[in-house]
């Protein structure tokens, strides 16, 4: 029967008797090859790259095993190789040029000893001594360098303020340095009058007081002690209430209606004559609610009533029309917070009458009643939006009609008879005096509308030239 036979050598023997020939050396080699093939495929084996630990002792990578370190290095090579060096990272460093070194603003490039030495040499100015201008211009100098000219007397130094050094105007003299004259007695030309700005006795005498002139100016002047005495006397005079300069001791020349011959008396006399001053309170001026004034002259309601009682003059829409505004001037001795404007109607009007008040000085309209109606024999009482009138202030009371044909609507005082009482240019002999005589005027309007400001006034005269009576009620103060 066939059997096995061990063959020594290369194992190439091939018998024909059915026996199997094997070589023991080859079998051992084939077994080891199988083990080698199995080793790479074994992922749990301890010799896998990720399982091999590694330590960085130079600060070149951060991985802790072979595989991660290789990956890190590969990434560094792909992204540009060695990183740029910083103050905290090792890496490659570019050297700065001389221009970059001189500029001194680059903080990413390296500096060599040669460039540093060159820069230091450029920054330090030099000082050269030369014997002529030509020698100075021939210097290999940079801006800021100094050259001392020994050919000048005294030696004078120049600074190079701009390059190149070969341009004379780039050198600016900066004064005498070294070897200058230190003894004042060695200076020359001190007596030369080279400039009119130099001081000498003649110029000084022309510009300043001489001692003789000053003494003459002070001669006869009071000493400081005398000035103090004068001030003391003046203070005493001011504080002395018994001094003869009391108002009653100051003479006054009588004028007009004032007969007093001293200031105190004149003041008292003027106050007693009225005029609306604080010392003047006519008997008809109320100080509380219910005070009544008129819109004529000085506001005296009694005089206005008397004129109203005897008057046979009227004003109405047929006479005034819609293109004319009639006005009368008045002046109150006290301020009046108005509560009512009263007027007695003697004709019928249907919502076409308007009253208004203007400040004579500023021309501003201080009140406008708006249109209202009247009925014969009935009092008109206007109480809405009434103003407060100031004391001693001239006002104009005005009336307009927006329509209608009634002749007698409101009673008016007797006509002054002539425009000269008023004057077309407001310069008549009684104009602005507010002494009780009616001072009337008129102005052009459009469709009976009350203007927002006082229009141009003209004087009027005749039977229909006056304005209506009204009474102003309120609180006087």
Residue pLDDT, tens place only, 64-108: 888 887 877 766 655 556 777 887 887 778 888 878 877 778 888
Residue pLDDT, tens place only, 217-251: 888 776 766 667 777 777 766 666 555 567 777 88
Query: Taking the domains of the chain in order of start, what are their residue ranges?
Result: 127-175, 251-280, 289-476
DSSP assignments along 124-181, one per residue = S--EEEESSHHHHHTS---TT-EEEETTSSS-EEEEE-SS-TT-GGGEEEEE--SS--
- Cα–Cα distance measured from residue 289 to residue 337, given in angstroms and rounded to the nearest whole number: 9
Residue with tokens 């001669």: 219
* Residue 211 backbone phi and psi in degrees, to 5: -60, -40
SS3 269: helix
Per-residue confidence (pLDDT) for residue 168, from 0 to 100: 93
Per-residue confidence (pLDDT) for residue 77, from 0 to 100: 55
Look at 204 and 414; give whichever has higher pLDDT.
Answer: 204
List alpha helices for 281-404, DSSP H.
301-310, 317-320
**Of 336, 341, 349, 346, the residue nearest 381 (C-alpha):** 341
Which of the listed CATH numbers 2.60.120, 1.25.40, 2.50.20, 2.40.160 matches domain 289-476? 2.60.120
Compute the average pLDDT of residues 292-317: 80
What is the value of pTM for the model shown?
A: 0.43
- Cα–Cα distance measured from residue 445 to residue 474, given in angstroms and rounded to the nearest whole number: 30
* Residue 1 pLDDT class (50, 70, 90 cuts): very low
* Residue 275 pLDDT class (50, 70, 90 cuts): very low
Mean per-residue pLDDT over the chain, rounded: 76
* Residue 248 backbone phi and psi in degrees, to 5: -70, -15
Per-residue confidence (pLDDT) for residue 104, from 0 to 100: 77
């Amino acid at each position: 029967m066939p059997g096995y036979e061990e063959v020594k050598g290369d194992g190439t023997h091939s018998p024909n008797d059915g026996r199997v020939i094997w070589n023991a050396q080859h079998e051992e080699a084939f077994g080891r090859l199988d083990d080698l093939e199995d080793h790479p495929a074994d992922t749990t084996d301890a010799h896998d790259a990720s399982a091999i630990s590694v330590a960085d002792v130079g600060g070149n990578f951060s991985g802790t095993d072979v595989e991660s370190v290789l990956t890190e290095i590969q990434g560094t090579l792909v992204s540009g190789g060695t990183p740029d060096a910083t103050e905290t990272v090792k890496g490659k460093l570019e050297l700065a040029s001389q221009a970059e070194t001189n500029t001194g603003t680059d903080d990413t490039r390296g500096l060599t000893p040669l460039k540093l030495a060159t820069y230091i040499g450029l920054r330090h100015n030099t000082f050269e001594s030369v014997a002529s201008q030509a020698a100075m211009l021939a210097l290999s100098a940079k801006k800021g360098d100094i050259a001392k000219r020994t050919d000048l007397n005294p030696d004078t130094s120049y600074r190079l303020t701009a390059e190149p050094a070969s341009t004379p105007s780039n050198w600016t003299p900066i004064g005498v340095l070294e070897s200058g004259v230190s003894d004042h007695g060695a200076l020359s030309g001190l007596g030369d009058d080279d400039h009119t700005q130099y001081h000498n006795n003649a110029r000084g005498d022309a510009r300043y007081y001489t001692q003789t002139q000053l003494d003459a100016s002070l001669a006869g002047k009071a000493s400081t002690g005398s000035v103090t005495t004068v001030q003391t006397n003046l203070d005493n005079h001011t504080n002395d209430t018994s001094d003869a300069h009391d108002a009653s001791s100051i003479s006054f020349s009588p004028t007009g209606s004032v007969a007093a011959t001293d200031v105190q008396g004149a003041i008292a006399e003027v106050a007693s004559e009225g005029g609306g001053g604080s010392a003047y309170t006519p008997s008809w001026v109320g100080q509380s609610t219910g005070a009544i004034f008129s819109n004529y002259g000085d506001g005296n309601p009694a005089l206005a009533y008397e004129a109203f009682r005897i008057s046979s003059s009227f004003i109405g829409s047929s006479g005034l029309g819609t293109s004319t505004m009639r006005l009368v001037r008045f002046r109150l001795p006290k301020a009046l917070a108005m509560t009512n404007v009263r007027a007695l109607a003697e004709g019928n009007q249907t919502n076409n009458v308007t009253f208004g008040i203007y400040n004579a000085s500023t021309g501003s309209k201080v009140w406008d009643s708006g249109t209202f109606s009247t009925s014969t024999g009935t009092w008109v009482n206007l109480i809405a939006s009434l103003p407060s009138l100031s004391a001693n202030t001239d006002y104009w009371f005005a009336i307009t009609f927006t329509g209608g044909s009634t002749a007698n609507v409101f009673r008016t005082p007797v006509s002054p008879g002539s425009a000269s009482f008023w004057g077309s240019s407001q310069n008549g002999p009684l104009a602005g005096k507010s002494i009780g005589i009616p001072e009337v005027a008129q102005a052009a309007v459009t469709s009976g509308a009350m203007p927002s400001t006082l229009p141009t006034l003209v004087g009027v005269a005749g039977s229909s030239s006056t304005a209506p009576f009204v009474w102003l009620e309120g609180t006087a103060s």
